[in-house]
Amino acid sequence: MRQSIVPIRRFLPILGVGLAAVGAHAQDAPPSLSPLAPPPEGAVSATLTSAKTRWYFGEPLLVQFNLTNKSDSPVTYTDDDDSSFRFRSIRFRVQATDEYGRHVLPDTDYIRMGYAQKLPHKILAPGQTLTRNLRPLEYIQLSTPGRYTFRVTHDLGWNGPLFERETSETKHFNFDVHFKDIPPPSYVYPGDLADWKSPIAQIEVELVMPDTSHARQIFADAVDKCDAATSGNRPIPPHEIPSPADFAHPVYLSCMKEYLLGLKNPALGQLTYPSPFFEAITQTPAIDAIRALIELADFKSASGKNVRLLAARCLYTRLPGSQPINSPRISYRTIPGWDDSLAPAVRKLAAELASLPESATDSRQDSEYALILHPSLPQLGAKILDYFDTRYRPVMTSPPASQDIP
């Protein structure tokens, strides 16, 4: 059995969500293993800013978390240097409420989480501001248009060992260790805890669902930026590359499927990152999303080999209760949309995939990360068949029309 520890550098995507500092000029202080003492009350403040307050679903919604030292003394903090991760940082916590005060469900799918590590302590000088970019939709399950208030906080090293964990000098990454403390869907927002020591910032935004024509325009612009970033023809700021959460809506399914079916056997790495569209289909809470993955996984064109491979990988994650390879304690988050009527088509496809010769697929044998999280087509086919034979239980009554407001 292959080990479940992989070099962290192989885990890095080509393009990431920008969490880079903007104009903070923070200085590194000597590292320390002792807990950080928070600054005095009122010494720091936090605000959220954004380029606009009205966003269409599909646009790369980005907000800036600004931490300002208002005191006359330096403030010591810790911060993940994870600017190259497309995954959300677990040291940020995001809460959203609609205009009626109802809470939006958090997204606790561990596979899209970043990791937390303890880095050298940093110093924010008096009067200076530290800015971090984040995508709030990566942290919540939001698919309903409306006005929302985002509340964001960061532990900053002031809130105990749960929020600040060591990584080894070799930068190896154990999924079970680092994801075991991810909170369940019912978790309490840490900013509401009496002993939470970090400031909380909030911003109000309006989210609008585009019509079909407008959605195609937004999608075409996103494809242009993804293609430019992949080819290197022109520089594209990381925050302009769309997140899967931006496109995880039924209005974009036909656009994404047409785009992926039209690809001419691109490199697998180029498809995985920065293209967010496979994962966006996977996250879309609709039965048509699963049908799209079945169609893509059954795409037999020689030029679409890698499209088929990635679609099959995504299809496996949509099976209710499916588990990442080598992580039997953890299940993928069940996304609404599965229906038992899909089972025969998925089983038939899986049997076909399992019968393929290993040499006929591109399984990226050079990457331990790929083998752990993303097996080849024959391996996936066998895994899906095993799922139906040993784990699958007819589930589910029809889910509510909207899953994002409890």
Domains along the chain? Answer: 5-208 (2.60.40.2360), 212-390 (no CATH)
Model confidence pLDDT, tens digit, residues 47-86: 999 999 999 999 999 999 999 999 999 999 987 654 444 5
Quick one: pLDDT at residue 200? Answer: 95
The model's pLDDT over 258-278, given as tens digits with 9 standing for 90+, comes to 998 887 555 555 554 446 888
Please state whether the peptide bond connecting residue 274 to the residue before it is cis, i.e. omega within 30 degrees of 0: yes
- What pLDDT, on a 0 to 100 scale, did the predictor assign at position 117? 53
> Higher-confidence residue: 361 or 337?
337
3-class DSSP state for residue 95? strand
In the three-class reduction of DSSP (H, G, I as helix; E, B as strand; rest coil), residue 33 is classed as coil
Residue type (1 letter), 108: T
- Of the candidates 318, 331, 317, 242, which has an alpha carbon nearest to the alpha carbon of residue 286? 318
pLDDT class of 178 with cuts at 50, 70, 90: very low
Q: Identify the pLDDT of residue 261.
A: 85
For residues 178 and 315, the model is more confident at: 315
pTM of the model: 0.77
Q: Are 115 and 171 in contact (CB under 8 A)?
A: no
Backbone angles phi, psi at 63, to 5 degrees: -125, 155
In 3D space, the residue among 137, 141, 132 whose CA is nearest the CA of residue 198 turns out to be 132
d(CA 374, CA 365): 10
Longest C-alpha distance within the chain, in Å? Answer: 69
pLDDT digit string (tens) for 1-23? 333 222 222 222 323 333 333 33
Q: Is 398 exposed, middle or buried (0-12, 13-18, 19+ CB in 10 A)?
A: exposed
Confirm if 71 and 223 have CB atoms less than 8 A apart.
no
